[in-house]
Amino acid sequence: MAGGSNKNWILMVTARSPTNIAVIKYWGKRDETLILPINDSISVTLDPEHLCTTTTVAVSPKFEEDRMWLNKKEISLSGGRFQSCLREIRSRGTDFEDEEKGIFIKKEDWKKLHVHIDSFNNFPTAAGLASSAAGFACLVYSLAKLMNVKEDEGQLSAIARQGSGSACRSLYGGFVKWSMGNDANGSDSIAVQLATEAHWDELVIIIAVVSSRQKETSSTTGMRESVETSPLLHYRSKEVVPKRILQMEEAIRTRDFPSFAKLTCADSNQFHATCLDTSPPIFYMNDTSHRQVFCMEKWNRSEGTPQVAYTFDAGPNAVLIAKNRKVATQLLQRLLFYFPPSADTELDSYLIGDKSILKDAG
């Protein structure tokens, strides 16, 4: 029996997961329940100091039901995605014992014990900054540690994927590939690390928070509508992405910034083109986002070789990847000159490294 006769204990684990930004995008599912994608994708995981989720999970014989708080507000755990992650982790829990505290948990007890989950995002939730990626990666990782799960990151990534597709890529740092897989049960639809963060550490990522408002069309709904109505999406997943994945892997392996930047920008633009090709069309980028693309394209052209890559997820916020620190400084100067954070530009803030340059910072 869990904890023997002692019912006065609580076990707790805290973990932190960074968000990730796709440079070859995932858009479209072939199985909505298992979250199996229609193409492979590649991402860069951000530094854990910055855009990240911190989650504390606790278990105690005193808890009467599973409960969760996100950013201090209680949220429902009844959704299928939370339930899938909880079920999968519970079924893999192993025996745990802490003799000193008199805690003995048998692996079958994990299914009976209730958990409390407290999660906090240090960035806007559901504003197209991949909050669900960091959130579900952190949830799965912390629950796995709590329940003494012995599975490796690859297997945990297949569980995080069932919370939110992009979450499977946040189990690793550096450059990560999510293979779409072939199995109907999704066992081979997992993430693998292509290279550690140290492999290409000159890159600097700046995020222009054009709007921290919650997006109108969620990724889940948007990609469902694209799968149902966009011929371009099906062409993209079959004809374009497989080649781009190989080219991107090579660009990362050889730290070839011009190829990396061209592929990243082209893939972001094609993803947003599939959104426009969806019926009714989905607009994630806004006028400020479009002007930023124009500005970066112009700069890259004037230099003769790309200095900066841009990419936009399901929202108007620009993720800008500078070739090195020197370029990042120039980029920030340009951004502050052409897009000063103010009500007119509709720009909220810039996130770079551990600093947020906010409106009132000038």
Residue ranges in contact with ligand DP6 by CB under 6 A: 22, 25-27, 35, 41, 130, 132, 164-166, 219-220, 313-314
Burial (CB < 10 A; 0-12, 13-18, 19+), residue 20, is: buried
Closest CB 228 distance from ligand DP6, rounded Å: 14
- In this structure, are residues 45 and 176 in contact, taking their beta carbons and an 8 Å threshold? yes
Q: Which residue is nearest to ligand DP6 (CB)?
A: 165
Closest CB 147 distance from ligand DP6, rounded Å: 23
Q: Which is nearer to ligand DP6, 158 or 314 (CB)?
A: 314
Burial (CB < 10 A; 0-12, 13-18, 19+), residue 76, is: exposed
Q: Which is nearer to ligand DP6, 22 or 205 (CB)?
A: 22
**Phi and psi based region of residue 35 (left: phi greater than 0; alpha: psi -120 to 50; beta: remaining):** left
Closest CB 127 distance from ligand DP6, rounded Å: 12
Give the C-alpha separation, 242 to 238, whole Å. 7
Q: Which is nearer to ligand DP6, 167 or 203 (CB)?
A: 167
Closest CB 329 distance from ligand DP6, rounded Å: 28
Q: What are phi and psi of 229, to 5 degrees?
A: -125, -15
Closest CB 287 distance from ligand DP6, rounded Å: 20
- In this structure, are residues 52 and 12 in contact, taking their beta carbons and an 8 Å threshold? no
Closest CB 24 distance from ligand DP6, rounded Å: 8
Q: Which is nearer to ligand DP6, 217 or 220 (CB)?
A: 220
Closest CB 53 distance from ligand DP6, rounded Å: 13
Burial (CB < 10 A; 0-12, 13-18, 19+), residue 104, is: middle
Give the C-alpha separation, 115 to 77, whole Å. 11
The CA angle 128-178-77, to the nearest 5 degrees, is 55
Q: Which is nearer to ligand DP6, 22 or 57 (CB)?
A: 22
Q: Which is nearer to ligand DP6, 110 or 175 (CB)?
A: 175
The CA angle 135-138-140, to the nearest 5 degrees, is 105
Q: Which is nearer to ligand DP6, 119 or 307 (CB)?
A: 119
Question: Which amino acid, residue 210?
Answer: V
Q: Which is nearer to ligand DP6, 22 or 89 (CB)?
A: 22
Closest CA to 103 of 22, 7, 3, 173: 3
| DSSP states of 329-361 | HHHHHHHHHHS-SSTTTT--EEEETTEEEEGGG
Q: Which is nearer to ligand DP6, 195 or 223 (CB)?
A: 223
List of residues 6+ apart from 74 with CB closer than 8 A? 67, 68
At 219, which helix (H) or strand (E)? helix 219-229
Closest CB 36 distance from ligand DP6, rounded Å: 10
Closest CB 289 distance from ligand DP6, rounded Å: 14
